[in-house]
Amino acid sequence: MNEYDSNRIYDSVKKLGFLKSEDQEKVDCYVLNTCHIRDKAKEKVYHEIGRVKKLYKEKTKPIMIVAGCVAQAENEEMFKREPYIDIIIGPQSYHKINDILKKFVNNQKQEETDFDTVTKFNYFDKVENKNSNVSAFLTIQEGCDKFCHFCVVPYTRGPEYSRPFNQIINEAEKLIENGAKEIVLLGQNVNAYSYMKSSKEYRISNLINKLESYSELKRIRYTTSHPRDMTDDLIDCYSTSKKLMPFVHLPIQSGSNKILKLMNRKHTVETYIDIYERLKKINSLIEFSSDFIISYPGESKDDFNDTLDLVKKIRFINSFSFIFSPRPGTKAANLNLIDKKISKERLLKIQEHLSKHQLRMNESLINKSIDVLVENKIDGQSKLFGRNMYMNSVIFDGEIKNIGKELKVKINKVNKNSLFGKIEKKITRERAA
């Protein structure tokens, strides 16, 4: 989502004459678009600002903008700690960036952290999204009403908001016109998407079904989901859609019902497994990835083993796992932490199993021909980069003219993160419109 937001910020500031630069030592304006989810997010921001200060020690200072969730959470405190910052702008105020920049030119430091989601998307609906790659991001929903005790998102992104259905489709059409062959629907709780118009509810399943009708579009994905919002209509999409990829990223966080309750997740391990089994019954090719928080306060050895058992049962691929780290302002911020040594041992153990499943999955593709959507050429090499249906990176020899095409690639070598192969032939079958 941060990549989508960054691109939309650029779409806006282009109106003021700003252009992207690859040379960080020769810019007039520096934008740090931040995320508050990962560990030590705030400190990483100050570290990056320190790096910029060194670059410009003997040069004219660039305009320093801190945007995103860290900006939302810290706002005016950032001005006090780091005077080098000129502008602070929250994730629901990006649409105001041009006006804010104009005011700054008049020597006024600026802070804007209002939750103004509706106005933001109405503004960007009128600004063409020109950042369409072969695989394009499209935000359909923002914010969160779940209030998991470990998570800062409800405080930095605000309440759940679903964009108007037609507004999303209009942006999707523009992306497809600009060459997008895959669209990834984005949201903090993307499958909570719910838009009402004329007494009719539009859900993510309606968006998927509509996108299915565009013949130029080859693939549809969505992220990130919540188990509570895996509704029957969304599950049914996996039996009706030919373009919805059979790869489900569905964070569970823990395999222990006790810990899930302490986290305020409002789902159980049993309901999660039921979702998994229903989807596997629809399509045996469907694979799951997930997020895991290890050593959440109160996690016993038995609780951890429950998580390990779940990992062994479902055999997740491409998952993310982290030791719990407290976020200021959340319910879990002041809970007693588990011993660091124990936490590291648990994390390594869970990651060992996750990596094993991931590698095993990749190895099962050796000597097989798979569908690959070619996204770009690897800089400095005569190789192409694409992804298979499970989001695996696939690297192979090929020509630039193949970018944007879906090809058959025979896999001859793999590692945990990537697949390597050789083009067999272009896929000739036509996908249903």
Q: Where in the chain is the domain with CATH 2.40.50.140?
A: 369-426
User: Which neighbouring-strand residues pair with 288?
Assistant: 248
Architecture of domain 2-113: 3-Layer(aba) Sandwich (3.40)
Q: SS in 3 state form for 377-423?
A: ECCCCCEEEEECCCCCEEEEECCHHHCCCEEEEEEEEECCCEEEEEE
- Average pLDDT of the residues in 209-227: 97
The first and second tokens of residue 65, run together, are 């903008």
Architecture of domain 369-426: Beta Barrel (2.40)
Q: Where in the chain is the domain with CATH 3.40.50.12160?
A: 2-113
- Collapsing DSSP to helix, strand or coil, 424 comes out as strand
| Predicted TM-score (pTM) above 0.85 | no
Query: At residue 379, does pLDDT exceed 80?
Result: no
| Model pLDDT for residues 52-107, shown as the tens digit of each residue | 999 998 888 999 999 888 888 787 788 888 889 998 888 878 888 888 888 887 66
| Model pLDDT for residues 150-185, shown as the tens digit of each residue | 998 898 888 999 999 999 999 999 999 999 999 999
CATH, domain 118-363, list 3.80.10.10, 1.20.1270.360, 3.30.70.100, 3.80.30.20: 3.80.30.20
Widest Cα–Cα separation across the chain? 63
| Model pLDDT for residues 116-146, shown as the tens digit of each residue | 667 766 766 666 666 668 999 999 999 999 9
Q: What is the β-pairing status of strands 63-68 and 29-34? A: parallel
